[in-house]
Amino acid sequence: MQCRICGSKTDPVFRAPVLSKYEIDYYECRLCGFLQTEDPFWLDEAYEYPVSPYDTGYVARNISLANKLTALLWLFCRPDGRFVDFAGGCGIFVRLMRDIGFDFYWYDKYAKNVFAKGFEWDFSSRAEAVTCFEAFEHFVEPLQELRKMLDVSENIFFTTELLPNPVPKPGEWWYYGLEHGQHISFYSDKTLKFLAAKYRLNYTRVGSLHIFSPKRFNGLLLKFLQLTQFKIHHLIRFMLRSKTWDDHIFQVEKLKKQNEDCI
Ligand SMILES: [Zn+2]
């Protein structure tokens, strides 16, 4: 089987029970360190629920990420620019970031936008940065997805658990997600470095966050953010104007116009 990242030949490393009924082969690429499942024919079954009932950390993770991204986007990007959350799920992260004061938009090929309605990204222009959380491991075609993000911005902030070295056996790593079957692509440190080099970007890691960007990030500043648990976000919030009320007015005006058009 060919590697979905670098195109090299892969080696089968183990077989594991996905959704408690399919014995699935996992393949490792020795060149770029990527681990992938065989062709994922079971995905329709795996996505019965848009937010996995197993993902009990969904809300807490989004709040924590909003705090971290407030610090990172303020310090390293133009905070008054536009931002897009790829694979934005039900829109909770976009809503949180707009509440803080960032002009954030939502995009998701599969999920239904609930919390960020009216703020869908239309791909008519570029953005300051893209975020993409807990989605890389779901990608069937990672290169196509990454290309789509890069067409929007070369600053990509994302999360996915790094594949340990050596590759853990099926019962040894929770992130394989065998019970829900949605995780099919696993990236090692080597894989992410390979991807960054492929697109001539720098790869930076801050705790569980990965960043692809043409910029070089100040390592000392990143260390400071980590040591202080990104608490600077409390201060930054004072310098931003929340969009909660403006968005409310926007929605009211939109509804009024729709009603007038119906008369
Ligand atoms: Zn590879």
How far is the C-alpha of 198 from the C-alpha of 136, rounded, in Å? Answer: 17
Query: What is the identity of the amino acid at 204?
Result: T
Q: pTM of this prediction? A: 0.94
How far is the C-alpha of 127 from the C-alpha of 81, rounded, in Å? Answer: 7
Region 209-234 average pLDDT: 96
How far is the C-alpha of 19 from the C-alpha of 151, rounded, in Å? Answer: 35
Region 163-168 average pLDDT: 96
The dihedral sign for the CA sequence 167, 169, 175, 176:
positive
What pLDDT shows up at residue 110?
A: 86
Q: Which CATH class is domain 11-254?
A: alpha beta
Ligand 1 center to 143 CA (angstroms): 11
Ligand 1 center to 228 CA (angstroms): 36
What pLDDT shows up at residue 72?
A: 97
Neighbours of 118 (CB within 10 A): 11
Beta bridge partners of 185: 36
| The token pair that represents 60 in the structure block | 């807490």
What pLDDT shows up at residue 198?
A: 98
Band (pLDDT 50/70/90 cuts) for residue 50 is low
Query: What is the identity of the amino acid at 144?
Result: Q
- Whether 48 has a pLDDT exceeding 90, the answer reads no
- Whether 49 has a pLDDT exceeding 90, the answer reads no
Ligand 1 center to 22 CA (angstroms): 25
Ligand 1 center to 160 CA (angstroms): 17
Ligand 1 center to 205 CA (angstroms): 20
Ligand 1 center to 244 CA (angstroms): 44
pLDDT digit string (tens) for 5-39? 999 999 999 999 999 999 999 999 999 999 999 99
Q: What percent of the chain has pLDDT over 90?
A: 89
